[in-house]
Amino acid sequence: MAYDLLIAPFADFAFMRRALVACLALSLGCAPVGMFLLLRRMSLLGDALSHSVLPGAAIGFLLGGLSLPAMGLGGFVAGLTVALLSGLATRFTALREDANFAAFYLISLALGVMIVSAHGSNVDLMHVLFGSVLAVDDLSLLLVAAIASITLGGFALLFRPLVAECFDPGFLRAAGGAGAWVHLAFLVLVVLNLVAGFQALGTLMAVGLMMLPAAAARMWARRLWALVAVAALIAFGAGYVGLVLSFRFDLPSGPAIVLVAGVVYLLSLLLGRVGGVLPRLIRPSHFEA
């Protein structure tokens, strides 16, 4: 019974195995990105950039059809363009970064929906917005795995300056740490992982696997390495359970994965040992280690 429920779908169907490997790659890449977004108080930036990839993905769809690499390349260019334009607007105007990101992502989202609606069908629009991890082919899987590898390598190189920028950006500037370039490199990693998530979950769901596990992990660990590890485990677990539910009950795979991650987040709010509701009620905060 347990084998038929939990293992048989992956043992019997190649598309389920590809989807599971894609979820593993997404978990490894999105976990550190989501955690640093959370620590930098930039959680909504991920949501803004996930919407910003839509016009590029739509143009990639028009040129290459339902080719996920073509749509992913277009989405990366569009997301990076929005990030750069928002940064320039912040530097040369009085508006703050969050306001500029909100403005540019709304323009980008509307443009993307307009492009798909004008040149495609409702089915095409739903595919671009919500994706399908069960439709990931070998080429798309290699792309997602490559992005995860680039992300881990990038964080290995940028870990110290990123941590410094999170907790003491003034020190990084005083030490000549090139904070602006570190910030730009981080935004590139964010956009890359949103493109990877777009391959499987669509533009509206991609940020869910990035931010929900990170927020849930914050309730279970304190050290940065532990936070990233717990977030990756939660993301992969949500991917596994979401795929099983999607297969057994004929549910859309992307929303199922994100909803499972959301349930873990809600349970973490209640039960998490670092600031969860029930531990706070049982043990006063001044007794916490």
Output the domain CATH number for residue 98: 1.10.3470.10
Q: Are 40 and 97 in contact (CB under 8 A)?
A: no
pLDDT digits (tens, 9 = 90+) for 47-75: 778 878 888 887 887 787 667 778 788 88
Biggest distance spanned by C-alpha atoms of the chain: 62
Q: Is the dihedral of CA 164, 169, 175, 177 positive or negative?
A: positive
- Alpha-carbon span 147 to 54, nearest angstrom: 19
Comparing CA positions, the residue from 11, 57, 94, 12 lying closest to residue 206 is: 57
Domain range spanning residue 213?
Answer: 2-287
Comparing CA positions, the residue from 169, 218, 167 lying closest to residue 38 is: 218
- Alpha-carbon span 242 to 55, nearest angstrom: 28
The encoded tokens of residue 279 equal 């531990």
Per-residue pLDDT for 287 more than 60?
no
Over residues 115-133, the mean pLDDT reads 65
pLDDT for the residue 240? 96
Per-residue pLDDT for 96 more than 90?
no
Those residues whose C-beta lies under 8 Å from the C-beta of residue 256, and which sit 6 or more positions away, are 242, 243, 245, 246
- Alpha-carbon span 225 to 217, nearest angstrom: 11
Q: Are 91 and 35 in contact (CB under 8 A)?
A: no
Instruction: Give the total number of structural domains in the chain.
Output: 1
Per-residue pLDDT for 5 more than 90?
no
Per-residue pLDDT for 25 more than 90?
yes
- Residue 85's Cβ-side half-sphere holds a number of Cα atoms within 13 Å equal to 17
Residue 29 one-letter amino acid: G
- Alpha-carbon span 214 to 33, nearest angstrom: 9
Over residues 177-194, the mean pLDDT reads 83
- Alpha-carbon span 60 to 74, nearest angstrom: 5
